[in-house]
A and B are shown apart, each in its own frame.
Chain A
Amino acid sequence: MFLGLDVGGTFTDGVAVSAGKIISTVKTPTTHNNLLECILRAIDKVVLDTGNKNFERIALSTTIVTNALVEDKIDKVGLCIMPGPGMNIKDALPKAPYIVSGYIDHRGHEVARPKEEEVMAACRHFSSCDIFAISGKFAVRNSSYESMIADWIREKVKPSHISLGARVSGSLNFLRRTNSAYYNGAVWRHFNQFATAVEDALLSRGICGPVYVLKADGGTLPLAVAREFPVEAIFTGPAASVLGIMSMHPTRGPAVSLDIGGTTTDIALWQKGTPIFAEQGAKVAGYATSVRAFRLKSIGIGGDSFVRWEKNALKVGPVRYGPAMAVGGSKPTITDAMIAIGLIEFGDKQLAINAMKELALEGQTPYEVANMALDEAVTCIYQAVMSLLAEQEAEPVYRVEDIVQGRRINIEQILGVGGGAIGLIPLVAKKMGLSYHLPDHGMVANAIGAAVARPTLDLTLRADTVEGYYTVAELDIKSRLPKSRFTLEDASLLAEQHLAELAKVNGIFLGETELIQAEEFNVIRGFNTVGKIITCRLQVKPGVLLPSKEVF
């Protein structure tokens, strides 16, 4: 039995899934000042419902990291960077770094060794810090200098934690890795306290099962791994919903999913049954990071969106003043409009009609104004879908063939989940001229997603046959190539082996893998090919667990 929990902005949802069926669902208000409280309340209810205390897996999607950042419950981090030559990165970071000399070039060559006395000076500079983050340019091509600096710091000040850029992400982008390493360090203590509290509470209740935390890319991390990389646990809510949809309605064709909640609508794009990833990592507190995420767009339209007149135009959202008037709220909302028209049955219909009467202009019926409000909401959602599609199509590509073929996604279906879906999705579908599907249990899609999200991992293997080495930054590996004629095929096989190793270390079932990037370039000296540079990035395919025992 899988247990899934989603700690949302308003509600905390829980589900228990057994043999592919949902056997218990819970919805309880989120207790923002003490997240553990609502998490345990949800778990207790599921245990009560199912009479089961042994779970194959307990997976959490929580706002703990996001909240820590928003509420400024973050630690001071001693940020040491090795930028080498290039852009002046100093002012682009969330915190003033200490710059250390020494650098690796784009081929992974060690050009200039870092100086120990500078690192000692950095330790003095950050004398009030117990947590450090270290990031070097091109460290993903050769992480030895990052490790060297970490060793010096560890020896000198014995900090509680050190985040290394190349371990947080194996992809190129020094700026993003540095930001990720910094935030990873900043939320490390807070997340670890939370993780300990969760483990202790489960233990004291006699509830058994390995605990996982959802990532923004829809994968899950064992809690022990998440303790090292807590920044990965940011923005997991929308990812959970996307995974939930995947488990409930395995669609093959291009589609768009809309998770319509009280305040927002989260939009995701789908192709061949999988959600599309953003090419770039997510932003944290306005700073670009390397945290992988789905391509999502969130707009301020939901069931509780406030409806009002502004300069002779009917406006909807993004403001929200509380629930619909039909259930005792004080201001007219989109939900009131849906109830007044009879799209959904909920609360007191007469109160909803009154809300629309309040809005109606002279000579306008409550139905007319309700329709106008829904039209406005649908138009906003429609435009957001179109702009997300445009963004996806505008993603740069670097091969002639990709430009010539184009990237158009012709959506065939709309998948709708969340509280506002039943009323709004048919209207959006009508406007877009598409079919739609509202899966059962759409109200707790996030929790289902958390319950069944398959663990994912990815790594980048880069082989330089001229140098005779390959590297895997995520595993801190730099090794001789196993054979002289090393091909892209060899590289992907080797990557597969290392991914299996990484999965094992992280307590993750490998399952199906896919190559998400494969590049091969000749290195030429004079007019002779002297070798190749091969890059392949391999991931455990994101997806949902089958009813069978796919985990362990």
Chain B
Amino acid sequence: MANQKLGLVFFPAFDWAISPAHPEREERLLYTRDQIVEEGLLDMPCIREYKPQIAQYKDLERVHIGVPDLSSLITNAHLVSAGGAIAAADAVMRREVDRTFALVRPPGHHAMRVVHGTRGFCTINIEAIMVEYLRKTYGIGKVAIVDTDVHHGDGTQDVFYHDPNTLFISFHQDGRTLYPGTGFTNEMGSPNALGTTLNIPLPPGTTDAGLHEVLDHLILPVLNDFKPDIIINSAGQDNHYSDPLANMAITAQGYARLADKLKADIAVLEGGYSIENALPYVNVGIILAMAGMDYSKVIEPDIATCPVQSSAVTRSITAIIKERQNMWATKEKLQQEAIAQAGQFWQRERSIYYDDAGIDERQKEVVRLCPNCSGYVTIETEAHGMFGYKSAYIATIPNYACPTCQKAAYDAAYKAKKQGKQQLYFVQNKMEDRLEIM
């Protein structure tokens, strides 16, 4: 009946919520649980259920720097959710199953490298934590993350923005019309990693037809070109036509066919807030597709209410596909130009808003454009919120950093500490797998 085996980490966290009426609350996966159990999916010989692990702080600190620390910003639910993604990764890497789907909450793709609190329902980035775990534990090199959530995966983009070995592709409802207001086509990665961030903003009203145009003509060819060792799907499901937080028009069939074509090794649930009308069907469709089973009968009861795609939407999708194809074809040239323009260091200043926590953060980020490695990164951060004021200076040593960058990162941290402008000083040393407080 099935030709492949799917591992399922199902963790609905029935005792955790951001707040009682928040979209990210206890019953978000209740109807999904009911549907999965009622279908009898967990009894299928080609599907195996896994229990999440509890992620270690060490796993989290490969990605995040919590200010003042992670433990005061997260709950056990976050450790279990990240541990769910890790359990999914382990099951695939041990070849117990062909692919896995971590249907876990809380989600993570809006959580950036520096964490002051919760933004976009996310506090820690569970996919990013899983990716670094894969690298540390199994020596995985090239990773592709395809973010299919309706919101731009700004957190995941931030974490891998300077990493040429991680291809981050996000399609989403255009940032001009939806939270978090980022994910434009000019965000392509810092010069050393230029092109490995690929944003595909789509117009509101995009349907299955438009989505599969993008998939067939842009995403799949790019993946084919990049040749990742592993494909991760940030499987947000809020592109659904009934989702209350966005304005797209994707169906359960559209999502299932997407999963079928993408053939991700690991999918991790992100958003999706039409908890009663969409999630049960979309999740079942994705599970069936990932398990290689027949998903043709998964149809929402109210499918008649799904809008059709306007010709204006079709035109703008065609245009963006063309424009992104061109970018991908010419990315080496674009990269040379960007490096030449930036010189030895590339830098940017940003302000980041934490909607769930009401925090305003300002960041200055500097990357050394090293010819021998992806270059060390320094971040100056300061945040205002209910707690008052918090600040930190962070130097990050990437995986495979050259000796010069390793030393320079420490020098930068010492120098900053001496100047004493911030409250806390960190060196995130990915090569030695530790977070040091200076």
Q: Which residues of A pack against B, CB within 8 Å?
A: 83, 85-89, 91-92, 105-107, 111, 137-138, 172-176, 280, 288, 394-401, 403-404, 519, 521-524, 527-529, 533
Contact = CB atoms under 8 A, between A and B. Distances in A.
Given A92-B44, A403-B51, A106 B35 contact: yes
A172 B297 contact: no
A174 B38 contact: yes
A174 B39 contact: yes
A138 B49 contact: no
B25 A522 contact: yes
A88 B297 contact: yes
B304 to A, nearest CB: 12
Interface string B273-308: 000100011001000100001101111110000000
Given A107-B276, A521-B30, A400 B12 contact: no
Given A87-B293, A396-B10, A106 B38 contact: yes
A86 B37 contact: no
A524 B21 contact: yes
B1 to A, nearest CB: 5
Interface string B18-30: 0011000111001
6 contacts: A85-B300, A137-B39, A138-B38, A172-B38, A400-B13, A403-B54
Contact of A401 (B11, B15, B38, B41): B15
Contact of B20 (A83, A89, A106, A522): A522
B298 A533 contact: no
Contacts of B1: 91-92
Interface of B: 1, 10-16, 20-21, 25-27, 30-31, 33-35, 37-41, 43-44, 49-52, 54, 75-77, 80, 83, 276, 280-281, 284, 288, 293-294, 296-301
Given A403-B51, A521-B27, A176 B76 contact: no
Given A86-B297, A172-B34, 4 more contacts: A395-B51, A398-B14, A529-B20, A529-B21
Nearest to A89: B40
A377 to B, nearest CB: 30
The 9 A-B pairs of least Cβ separation, nearest first, read A175-B40, A521-B27, A88-B294, A288-B43, A399-B15, A527-B21, A85-B299, A172-B38, A87-B39
Contact of A521 (B26, B75, B297, B300): B26
Given A172-B34, A398-B13, A85 B281 contact: yes
Contacts of B284: 86-87
A176 B77 CA distance: 31
Given A87-B40, A175-B40, A106 B16 contact: no
A397 B276 contact: no
B49 A396 contact: yes
B122 to A, nearest CB: 17
A87 B297 contact: yes
B381 to A, nearest CB: 29
A56 to B, nearest CB: 40
Contacts of B54: 403-404
A400 B16 contact: yes
Given A400-B13, A403-B80, A404-B76, A85 B301 contact: yes
A548 B335 CA distance: 87
Contacts of B40: 87, 89, 92, 173-176, 288
A533 B51 CA distance: 25
Contacts of B50: 396
Contacts of A174: 38-40
A404 B80 contact: yes
A92 B11 CA distance: 26
A43 B20 CA distance: 62
A392 to B, nearest CB: 12
A289 to B, nearest CB: 10
Nearest to B8: A396
Contacts of A404: 54, 76, 80
A113 B26 CA distance: 32
Contact of B34 (A106, A176, A400): A106
A399 B50 CA distance: 14
A83 B297 CA distance: 10
A106 B283 CA distance: 14
Contacts of A524: 21, 25
B354 to A, nearest CB: 20
Nearest to B78: A400
Given A399-B14, A404-B76, A88 B300 contact: no
Given A521-B30, A524-B25, A529-B21, A86 B35 contact: yes
A96 to B, nearest CB: 14
Nearest to A288: B43
Contacts of B300: 85
Nearest to B19: A527
Contact of B43 (A85, A86, A175): A175
A288 B49 CA distance: 15
Interface centre among B76, B83, B299, B301 (most CB of A within 10 A): B301
Nearest to A176: B40
A394 B293 CA distance: 25
A398 B11 contact: yes
A398 B77 CA distance: 11
B316 to A, nearest CB: 31
B22 to A, nearest CB: 8
Contacts of B30: 521, 533
A85 B41 CA distance: 13
A173 B33 CA distance: 11
Contacts of A85: 281, 297-301
